[in-house]
């Protein structure tokens, strides 16, 4: 069952690129005492993720900052090397978004957002969503019904809900 508004995020580890290479970071460390946006995509370099979802948060990053959001994190079931390269390719890194991998889908499965679509080669991937997390607790959660759609999970939609 998927996580709901009002629930605390479960303990899980994401992997991002640091100054010295890949570094593991606990979700609790990213969210404790902070207001954080977490949005997830089915896969790096996939069409809707690259052309709509990430760009929506690149466009709105400064507005989230102005509303007191401490960090905007993109999560995908990919390794941190792919996430860094994709962040460079989309302008997400330059915009200040954190590109975090969930290589074993640990976080994705823990919050009930996993799906599998073998014909597309997507195994244990994340549903498309965007959430606002306040001190580890989900305060807004926008989940897309279709992985190929980016409407309610777009940066502009989440920003409008703040």
pLDDT at 120: 75
Torsion sign (Cα): 33, 68, 54, 8:
positive
Q: List all residues 6 or more positions away from 121 whose beta carbon is below 8 Å from its beta carbon.
A: none
pTM score over 0.85: yes
Active-site residue numbers? 49
Classify domain 13-161 at the CATH topology level.
Glutaredoxin (3.40.30)
Nearest CA to 124 out of 112, 139, 111, 114 is that of: 114
Nearest CA to 12 out of 111, 156, 154 is that of: 111
Q: What is the mean pLDDT of the chain?
A: 95
pLDDT at 10: 97
Per-residue pLDDT of 70-113, as tens digits, reads 999 999 999 999 999 999 999 999 999 999 999 999 999 999 99
């Amino acid at each position: 069952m998927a996580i709901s508004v009002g629930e605390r995020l479960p303990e899980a580890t994401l992997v991002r690129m640091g100054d010295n290479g890949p570094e593991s970071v606990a979700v609790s460390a990213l969210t404790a005492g902070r207001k954080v946006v977490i949005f997830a995509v089915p896969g790096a370099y996939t069409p809707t993720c690259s052309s709509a979802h990430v760009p929506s948060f690149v466009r709105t990053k400064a507005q989230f900052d102005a509303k007191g959001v401490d960090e905007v994190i993109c999560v995908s079931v990919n390794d941190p090397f792919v996430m860094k390269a994709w962040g460079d390719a989309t302008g997400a890194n330059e915009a200040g978004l954190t590109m975090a991998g969930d290589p074993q889908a640990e976080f994705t499965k823990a919050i009930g957002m996993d799906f599998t679509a073998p014909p597309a080669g997507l195994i244990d991937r994340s549903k498309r969503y965007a959430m606002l997390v306040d001190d580890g607790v989900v305060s807004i959660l926008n989940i897309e019904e279709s992985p190929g759609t980016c409407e309610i999970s777009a940066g502009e939609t989440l920003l409008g809900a703040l």
